Amino acid sequence: MESGKSQKDLFEDLFSKALQSRIFINRELLSPDYVPQTLPFREEQLAKLASILSVSLKNERPNNVFIYGLTGTGKTAAVKLVFKKLKEKADEIKANVVAVYVNTRQKDTEYRVLAEVLDSLGVKVPFTGLSVSELYNRLFKAVQNKGSITIVALDEIDYLVKKHGDDLLYRLLRMNSELQRGKITIVGITNDLKLIDSLDPRVKSSLGEEEIVFPPYDAEQLKKILEERARLAFREGALSPEVIPLCAALAAREHGDARKALDLLRTAGEIAERNNDEKVETRHVEMARNQLEHDTVEAIVSTLPLHSKLILLATLKIIEEKGKATTGEVYSKYLDLVKKLGIEYITSRRATDIISELDMLGILDARVTSRGRYGKTKTITLQTSKEAVLKALLKDELIGAVINE
DNA sequence: CTTCCACCGGAAGTACCGGTAA
DNA sequence: TTACCGGTACTTCCGGTGGAAG
């Protein structure tokens, strides 16, 4: 046992180390939630969005806006920044403007999106129990009573539309024709350019009143963005000169994703700090890349329902033997596992869906291939690190019992 | 050219859960 | 209390299909 004094010193040491980092000055600046005051290389898009939405200050309804751009191209940050400035101005001149940002990947049902919008209008609703049409009624009343120009940004709507169709968009847009006071404007944000074609033509024309495109950043631009943030986030001399170009290059390879670039840089810094290293080096970036991948896979896998985990485990075992798998092989392996555990099994129809879900999550790659006389099936390969998946699966005690043959 | 495998994947429905309204 | 709500996980049924084998 440690004596009281040395333990106290230990904590003292740890805490003061945390307080005076030798790497960071302000790590927050690299966080994915941080909204910078300026967005380099996005001046044009910011100006366009701001000018479209500015008419709300005169109590007029701005046009609906459709924003496209791949992940990490600054769409979300741009919308949040413009909203913030708009709200400030609206407060200043007492304009009746409400601007809500909703990420439809987090609020992934019609109900939850509406609840979020209502919340920002000051109406609290229970998180379940009401019908969706009741929420529409309440939203209508809320906008009508407040008479506000209500601007709703729906981020990642491709996600919502794929899952639940474009009903939400249609009904929100149609509400305007019945409102006597107050109006609703929608800012739709998507990274799927094909989305527009799958929309109801009425929604399409109404939502597409204005369009703003966010092109990917190139490696050079990513470098400048990182440099700008790093100047304030890191201590002087804490970054070796190759670090930023490497982060920029890695992220540029993934369609110019600035968020990825910032994640890499931040995580590399954190790793260097934990190891008590003087400087962030390229090897830290490599480790960061690994860790980020590991973390996302683990987070996804560990929250999967039991049968999804079992399907995944069965797939893993087949792939271990043969390098790739088919639906039939996976399903029969899965049946073996279930038998050993003595629990109920799901049908192969459901298994097909689970494999597709795992594909969409980016854990597996499952493509339908035809083997002629030998039928049509999904050819499945692993898309992530086997270790990360196994580690996450092992957390489940039931699976731990059956993981080794 | 046709056949036919081994699945694919849409549609509709069931069961359950955690919740509200009246 | 009863009736109903949405979300998730799953089932049942079944028509559909790319392309190697014949």
pLDDT band at A1 (very low <50, low <70, confident <90, very high): very low
φ/ψ (deg, to 5) at A190:
-145, 150
Distance CA A344 to C1' B21 in A = 37
* A353 nearest nucleotide via C1' and CA: B9
Distance CA A320 to C1' C14 in A = 34
Give residues with Cβ within 8 angstroms of A352, minimum separation 6: A327, A378
* Residue whose C-alpha is closest to residue A74's, from A230, A222, A250: A222
Fold for A43-214, please state it: Rossmann fold (3.40.50)
At A2 the pLDDT is: 45
φ/ψ (deg, to 5) at A187:
-110, 105
Overall CATH class of domain A217-300: mainly alpha
Distance CA A201 to C1' B6 in A = 38
CA A388 to chain centre: 20
3-class secondary-structure state, position A206: helix
Give residues with Cβ within 8 angstroms of A72, minimum separation 6: A217, A251, A255, A256, A257, A258, A259, A260, A261
Neighbour count for residue A162 (Cβ, 10 Å): 12
3-class secondary-structure state, position A56: helix
Q: Which amino acid is at A372?
A: G
Q: Poorest-confidence range of A138-142, A165-169, A208-212, A346-350?
A: A165-169
Distance CA A44, CA A214 (A): 10
**Residue ranges in A20-74 assigned as alpha helix (H):** 43-53
Residues 334-363 of A with CB under 7 A from strand C: 344-347, 349-350, 353-354
Residue with the bigger pLDDT between A278 and A311: it is A311
Q: Poorest-confidence range of A143-152, A185-194, A370-379?
A: A185-194
Distance CA A4, CA A111 (A): 54
CA A366 to chain centre: 22
Please, which positions of strand C sit below 7 A from a protein CB? 4-14, 16-21
Please, which positions of strand B sit below 7 A from a protein CB? 3-11, 18-21
Q: Which amino acid is at A142?
A: A
Domain boundaries, chain A: 43-214, 217-300, 304-400
Distance CA A227, CA A349 (A): 51
What number is the average pLDDT over the span A1-23?
A: 66
**Residue ranges in A238-347 assigned as alpha helix (H):** 243-253, 258-274, 282-302, 306-322, 327-341
Distance CA A350 to C1' C10 in A = 7
Asked if residue A116 lies in contact with residue A105, where contact means CB atoms within 8 angstroms, the answer is no
Note the CATH number of domain A304-400. Answer: 1.10.10.10
* A370 nearest nucleotide via C1' and CA: C18
φ/ψ (deg, to 5) at A273:
-65, -45
pLDDT band at A242 (very low <50, low <70, confident <90, very high): very high
Among protein residues, the one whose C-alpha sits closest to the C1' atom of C8 is A305
Distance CA A206 to C1' B10 in A = 30
Among protein residues, the one whose C-alpha sits closest to the C1' atom of C16 is A376
What number is the average pLDDT over the span A257-264?
A: 93
Per-residue pLDDT tens digits for A102-132: 998 888 888 999 999 998 888 888 878 788 8
pLDDT beyond 70 at A209: yes
Its pTM surpasses 0.85: no
Residues 327-386 of A with CB under 7 A from strand B: 327-329, 348-349, 352, 355-356, 368, 372-378
Among protein residues, the one whose C-alpha sits closest to the C1' atom of C19 is A372
* A110 nearest nucleotide via C1' and CA: C6
The reply to whether the CB atom of residue A61 sits less than 7 A from any atom in nucleic acid chain C is: no
DSSP A327-345: HHHHHHHHHHHHHHHT---
Token code pair at residue A5: 């004094």
Start-to-end CA distance of chain A, whole Å, equals 42
Token code pair at residue A20: 């005076």
pLDDT beyond 90 at A312: yes
Distance CA A128 to C1' B16 in A = 16
φ/ψ (deg, to 5) at A229:
-70, -40
**Residue ranges in A152-241 assigned as alpha helix (H):** 157-164, 167-175, 201-207, 219-233
Give residues with Cβ within 8 angstroms of A213, minimum separation 6: A45, A67, A68, A69
- Angle between helical axes of A157-164 and A167-175 (0-180°, round to 10): 110
Distance CA A174 to C1' C4 in A = 27
Residues 102-141 of A with CB under 7 A from strand C: 108-112, 128-133
Distance CA A208, CA A142 (A): 26
Residue with the bigger pLDDT between A187 and A193: it is A187
Q: Which amino acid is at A302?
A: S
Q: How many CA atoms lie within 13 A of A348 on its CB side?
A: 11
Per-residue pLDDT tens digits for A14-30: 776 666 677 788 888 88
